[in-house]
């Protein structure tokens, strides 16, 4: 969207234009300094939002949410392959199966409610209708958490505590959230009803709540609010409690309209995951990077939901991941991984391959090279990603050997004679790669594997060290002392958590959430922030379906992980190791 159409101007200059909205009659650079943005053909202004506010320029927030792109792609796939035509507005509302999935916190990949904090809250809040999702989105925020609103709300929702309404006027404002102010609009109405604020003063409070974290401007309302509530018959203790709750909104409290908008996407993406996990996976992979989880976890989660995921293939894959004919009893489509996952491969080279195979499938590496015109370097990326195996039957090493015989620039003698040749099959016996080495190459070239999980090759070592699987740990009793090990998927150190680090580990059986207290983090900072694979000994904490491991000891097992490439699950081939494989690279998603 052009800068002149969406960013700045004065309301009196706003007018309709055939191409959109014109916000100013004069040149934009005569009103505000502008500069080129990093994105081509885009500009930004140099003033911050507070300066713009003082000058009374128009401000419009445009949220570029990746899930909107994902859902658009998913709905298009749903229409093209299953003949089901929906929009965000027409997706079936209040689907019981979708809410059952949400209550189990089976929400990897969905919008907003896939974080560790949200997954911990879902089994407690137990959403059953859309309004519950709106509250879920709003309550797992720094504002409500710091204002001590979360646990009182949950106790009241479970019937363990009665809502406290000192006056009927306050009940009218807070009844929908059981007496707890969760939304900015409620905060404004509370001070208007209870403390006698005018609408203008309440709006000033709203603005102060938005900037409290940086400037502390909400404190200027403290005396005015508490005194107003006392005059209107509220106790000073109650007034102080309300003030503390409202003060918490200074750290990103949600407007209700904002929470509802996010809840629409949370529900829509949950419905897609629940009802069409095949479509959901393809659209997620085609919208990366986004969300808390990398493609490896998204693919594994989809497989656990019955989706048949097929490898990248030079004769079947397009640039994006695609859907292929149903292969399961549920009628789900198989997901063919796209060539966009192949590291180093350009979109243009993939496009030339797809166009060339329109006249028929490739029968050899040489056939692909000649018909597509793609240089040998690009073919090496595909061979490293094992894309010649699915239909041509060439393993990584065989494909790379064949590519070695190709010359992008023919020798003059052959060029003059217009001699053509067919690449010869390798006349040497290439030693097959170990299973672990194949997995390492998958991760390093695609970011995921459809083979065995890396920890499968290390399980015997872990068992000897007294480390159990994540699945066994999740089934253990509350308070049990145990040790697990896994790949680090996600690290979170939110500002509202006072230094606590939340980490998610994954092994071949499941994943588990780990809580690392500040003193433990300080003592193990390098390991926690840098380790690809960690072993954690601690105490299991279970509350219903919510499971955490409280870390008491943390060890870096990254060196053990580095040996995966030298491992095999084939006992007969264990003694055939004669080379040192490359180290596996597993990238986590970090949110600090």
Q: Which of 457, 431, 458 is nearest to 579 (CA)?
A: 431
421: Cβ contacts below 8 Å, ≥ 6 apart: 366
Q: Token pair for residue 204?
A: 């000033």
Closest CA to 81 of 322, 357, 337: 322
> Which tokens belong to 255?
């407007």
In the chain, residues under CATH classification 2.40.50.140 are: 454-591
pLDDT of 341 strictly over 80: yes
**In the numeric block, which tokens belong to residue 123?**
């089994």
DSSP letters along 134-202, please?
Answer: HHHHHHSSHHHHHTT-HHHHHHHHTTSS----SSHHHHHHHGGGTT---BHHHHHHHHHHHH---HHHH
> Helix 96-103 and helix 256-275: axis angle, to 10°?
100
pLDDT of residue 211: 56
Q: What is the pLDDT of residues 475-508, one digit of tens each?
A: 999 999 999 999 999 898 876 567 889 999 999 9
**pLDDT for 317 beyond 60:** yes
Model confidence at 210: pLDDT above 70: no
List the single range of 133-137, 295-299, 450-454, 491-495 with lowest mean pLDDT.
491-495
**CA atoms within 13 Å, Cβ hemisphere of 189:** 17
Question: What is the rounded average pLDDT for all residues in the chain?
Answer: 83
Average pLDDT over residues 46-50: 77
- What local confidence, expressed as pLDDT, does residue 574 receive? 53
Predicted pLDDT of residue 485 = 96
CB-CB contact of 517 with 500 (8 Å)? yes
More confident site: 577 or 347: 347
pLDDT in tens, 551-570: 999 999 999 999 998 888 86
Residues ≥6 apart with Cβ < 8 Å to 78: 84, 85, 86, 272, 276, 279
H-helix or E-strand containing 518? helix 518-523
Q: Which of 199, 202, 198, 200 is nearest to 246 (CA)?
A: 202
- Two tokens at 500? 């606590």
Question: What's the CA gap between 131 and 120, in Å, rounded?
Answer: 19
Both structure tokens of 254: 């949600």
* Lowest mean pLDDT segment, chosen from 45-59, 122-136, 529-543, 575-589: 575-589
pLDDT at residue 14, as a whole number: 41
Within 8 A by CB and 6+ apart from 408, the residues are 375, 376, 377
Least confidently predicted of 78-87, 401-410, 412-421: 412-421
CATH topology of domain 454-591: OB fold (Dihydrolipoamide Acetyltransferase, E2P) (2.40.50)
Q: What pLDDT score does 218 carry?
A: 61
Q: Is the peptide bond before 289 cis (omega within 30 degrees of 0)?
A: yes
Per the CB < 8 A criterion, the answer to whether 514 and 487 are in contact is: no
């Amino acid at each position: 969207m052009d800068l002149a159409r969406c960013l700045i101007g004065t309301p009196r200059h706003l007018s309709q234009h055939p191409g959109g909205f014109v916000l100013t009659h004069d040149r934009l650079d005569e009103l505000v300094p502008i500069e080129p943005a990093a994105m081509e053909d885009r500009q930004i202004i140099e003033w911050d939002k507070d300066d713009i506010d003082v000058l009374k320029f128009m401000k419009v927030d445009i949220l570029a949410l990746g899930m909107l792109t994902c859902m658009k792609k998913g709905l298009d796939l749903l229409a093209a392959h299953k003949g089901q035509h929906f929009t965000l507005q027409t997706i079936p509302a209040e689907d019981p199966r979708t809410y059952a999935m949400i209550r189990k916190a089976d929400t990897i990949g969905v919008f907003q409610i896939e974080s560790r904090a949200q997954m911990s809250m879902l089994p407690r809040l137990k959403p059953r209708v859309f309004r519950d999702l709106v509250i879920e989105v709003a309550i797992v925020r720094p504002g409500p958490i710091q204002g001590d609103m979360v646990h009182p709300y949950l106790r009241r929702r479970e019937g363990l505590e009665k809502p406290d309404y000192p006056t009927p006027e306050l009940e009218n404002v807070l009844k929908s959230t059981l007496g707890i102010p969760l939304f900015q609009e409620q905060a404004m109405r509370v001070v208007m009803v209870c403390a006698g604020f005018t609408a203008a003063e309440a709006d000033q409070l709203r603005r102060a709540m938005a900037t409290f974290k940086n400037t502390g401007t909400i404190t200027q309302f403290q005396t005015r609010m508490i005194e107003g509530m006392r005059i209107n018959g509220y106790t000073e203790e109650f007034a102080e409690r309300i003030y503390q709750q409202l003060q918490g909104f200074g750290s990103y409290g949600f407007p209700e309209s904002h929470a509802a908008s996010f809840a629409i996407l949370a529900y829509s993406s949950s419905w897609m995951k629940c009802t069409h996990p095949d479509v959901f996976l393809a659209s997620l992979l085609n919208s990366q990077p986004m969300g808390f989880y990398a493609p490896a976890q998204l693919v594994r989660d989809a497989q656990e939901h019955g989706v048949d995921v097929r490898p990248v293939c030079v004769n079947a894959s397009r640039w994006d991941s695609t859907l292929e004919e149903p292969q399961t009893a549920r009628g789900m489509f198989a997901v063919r991984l796209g060539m966009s996952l192949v590291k180093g491969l350009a979109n243009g080279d993939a496009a030339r391959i797809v166009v060339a195979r329109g006249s028929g499938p490739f029968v050899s590496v040489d056939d692909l090279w000649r018909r597509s015109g793609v240089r040998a370097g690009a073919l090496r990326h595909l061979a490293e990603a094992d894309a010649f195996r699915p239909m041509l039957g060439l393993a990584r090493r065989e494909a790379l050997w064949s590519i070695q015989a190709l010359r992008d620039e023919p020798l003059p003698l052959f060029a003059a004679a217009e001699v053509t040749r067919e690449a010869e099959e390798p006349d040497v016996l290439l030693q097959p790669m170990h299973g672990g080495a194949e997995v390492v190459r998958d991760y390093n070239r695609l970011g995921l594997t459809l083979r065995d999980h890396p920890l499968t090759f290390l399980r015997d070592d872990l068992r000897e060290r007294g480390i159990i699987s994540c699945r066994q740990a999740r089934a253990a009793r509350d308070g049990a002392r145990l040790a697990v090990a896994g790949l680090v998927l996600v690290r979170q150190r939110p500002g509202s958590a006072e230094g606590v680090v939340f980490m998610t580990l994954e092994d071949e059986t499941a994943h588990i959430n780990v809580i690392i207290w500040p003193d433990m983090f300080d003592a193990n900072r390098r390991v926690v922030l840098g380790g690809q694979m960690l072993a954690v000994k601690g105490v299991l904490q279970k509350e219903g379906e919510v499971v955490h491991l409280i870390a008491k000891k943390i060890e870096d097992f990254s060196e053990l992980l580095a040996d995966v490439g030298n491992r095999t699950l084939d006992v007969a081939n264990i003694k055939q190791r004669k080379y040192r494989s490359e180290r596996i690279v597993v990238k986590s998603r970090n949110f600090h």
